[in-house]
Structure 1
Amino acid sequence: MTRRFDHLGDVEALLEVVERGSISAAAVALATTPSVVSRAITRLESRLGVQLLRRTTRRLSLTDSGREYVEQARAAFLQIASAERALSGQGEVQGRVRLSAPTTYGHHRLPAILAAFAQRYPKVQVELGITNRNVDLVAEGYDLAIRLGTLPDSSLVARQLEEASLCLVAAPSYLARAGTPHSLADLAEHNCLPFVMPSNGRPGVWQFRQEEQEQTFIPQGNPVIADDVLGCISLAEQGVGICQTYEFIVGERLRQGRLVRLLEAFEGATRPFSIIYPPHRQLSAASRVLIDFLVRGGSEDAPASAAR
């Protein structure tokens, strides 16, 4: 009988090189020699017909194919380890996960999800850092981070959590005083609360969609909000002006009438939220179950999305 997976030792060597950052360090961890590890990777590349590692005299780096293969191979090895733990009576996932999240997600999405997660995985300790600053995952010791928008850094692995719908809102008291806008052009006559983007120091652009056509508007108003975008919602609720935000944040305020939805014909724009982690870091079982739980939105029934 032909063995289909007699190359798993070579795969393990590759994962060790990626984890340790060099062939020599991997050889020490595997109790072998650098030449043996190098040959293992060469065999694996020959078997797959693609280059997995770029090797120079100074450093190693994964190719795009290598990054994808390592991520899936690592997941497969972790699944095998999980199955062995379950058979040996040690199947309950435990450990610590450090997670960074922005205030929008940290206050308005994560509480319910993490409450359900704690019920499902009581031995996993989640340390949640809520900040609008993009933390350095490696330098600051975070395992995972939730980020908004399209991620320019291709060195990070990202799994999308959702496409969050945007809406325009104001308090009834503001509308009674300033009137109700009926078009995007009308917004120029209103106090539109701007949030200063920390990345560039400019007001964040409001996004709209009408009949599949994207439109934008740069808000101008007083006061200008910095650091925490939730300040825009608090000010809008007090009748100071109009703000654009996510439906999941203001849903209850809308139902209670504390805020009113505006320009609904121009809704439909969304922004993505993703969970990210470094590709070279071997995820713990605790991190992996938290990622899958977040991708499912806290539901055990829905399937987890594919890794990106």
Structure 2
Amino acid sequence: MSDYSTNNFTNPSTFILLGIPGLETAHVWLSIPFCTMYAMAILGNFTILFIVKTEPSLHEPMYYFICMLAITDLVLCTSILPKALTIFWFNSREIDFSACLTQMFFIHCFLTTESGIFVAMAFDRYVAICDPLRHSTILTNCMVAKTGLAIVLRGAVIVLPYPFLARQWPYCRTNIIPEPYCAHIAVVNLACADIRVSSYYGLFVLLCVLGLDVIFIALSYTWILRAIFRLPTKDARLKTFGTCGTHLCVILAFYIPGLFISLMNRFGQNVALHFHVLISNLYLLMPPMLNPIIYGVRTKQIRNRLPRIFAQK
């Protein structure tokens, strides 16, 4: 019980993750949808990776970016769910201080990486629709690989200050985190020091990094829509829009809930804590589950490949 104490202490070696505060008695039942979403995310994203790997006709920039998104989603949900399920099933709430900071890094790094992949996908669709004759010369396999590496490095460099700043603060109030994972702001809020540097840096990442990504994506799709509406026939417009409509669905599913969560963090003081934590968890778990479903349903090449896989099985 001493680990759960809120009495004064100096930098704890462990933190206590509460899971879903206020719903502790329902943790076993809550684990069912969480576990189902995790299983669907694992199965769906590995299926996407397998299809692209085994189908030579899909060895194109668009599908390489889809594979990058699938890998990012796998890492993101795996950074969260295993520990959350041990809380729900075994009441194993302790997490080592270093492990907590590592989890924080992976969560925010791959959220930033996912945003960067969406920018790359928007650029790919822009070139394919607005300048199709140069698409194969601009987005070569080498350029796609370099772009993917740059996106991952950008995410790592931008998020690296999060755990370093969090490690330097003294923690002398409590070691209890009212969530099932170590989010950046949830950890630094436990510090008994002026954490404005961490807070301002988090706001900088939100506005200047993710915000710029949204602007670049919006500009790309503005030019794409202008090019689509200039096409001579309705069938041509619908067919061309279908090639980027799937990406739009995935992008909106990522950014709109993220904006809602951000506003709720800052202005939702009257929102029940358990509702806030549930929504935050769903925001991190829904995209990894939904992305392969959206691509499987809306992308003809992937959809046509699925029955062949099951027939072979």
The TM-score by the shorter chain falls in which range?
A: under 0.3
Pick the structure with more strand per residue: 1
Higher relative contact order (CA 8 A, sep 6+): 2
Rg (Cα) greater in structure: 1
The TM-score with structure 1 as length reference comes to: 0.21
